[in-house]
Amino acid sequence: MKNIGIWMDKQKAFIITIEDQKEITDKIESNVEDFRIHGGSGTRIKGGPQDVVQDRKYLEREKHQFRTYFETLVTFLQDADKIVVFGPAEAGEKFKKELDQNYKDIAVKVEGVFKADSMTENQTKALIRDHFSLSTS
C-alpha cells in the first residue's frame, strides 16, 4: 500500500511517500511569486494623481503559477492508494479544489485536508507517519 502525505504552503511542498515501511521524501519549490501590490496616492495633495494598480494582472499570473505548481505535485500522486494534505493558509484547499476539478481519479484518494503550522522536515514526516498509523489501526 502506498500512502502519500503532503505538507504544503505557497512556497514549497514536502511529499512523504510511505510504502512497505520505507519513507521517501521529496521537496518541491513552487515558484509562486509573492506579490506586493503598491499603489495609492502619488502625491500628498488631496484629489491629486493616483497610481492605478491592476490587481487582476497579478492575480491571474499567480493563478497560473499555482496551476503549474499543482501539476508538478500531481505527478507524484499518480499511483497512491491514500493521500493526505497538511499546511497553513489556503494552499491545501486550493490544491484539493484543483484535484476535484481536473484530477477526479486522484481527488477520490484524498482522505482530508488539515491545517498545520510551519514545521521542520522531521516534524512533517512524524505528522504524516502518525496520521497513516492511526488511520490503519
CATH number of the domain within which 28 lies: 3.30.420.60
pTM of the model: 0.82
Pairing of strands 2-8, 82-87: parallel
Number of domains in the chain: 1
The C-alpha cell at 95 is: 490544491
**In this structure, is residue 123 part of a structural domain?**
yes
Cα–Cα dist 70/13, whole Å: 10
In angstroms, rounded to a whole number, what is the distance separating the alpha carbons of residues 29 and 109? 23
Instruction: For residue 84, give its domain range.
Output: 2-33+53-136
pLDDT in tens, 59-117: 898 899 999 999 999 999 999 999 999 998 888 999 999 999 999 999 999 999 999 98
**What backbone phi and psi angles, to 5 degrees, belong to 14?**
-105, 125
Task: Express as a percent the part of the chain with pLDDT over 90.
Answer: 58
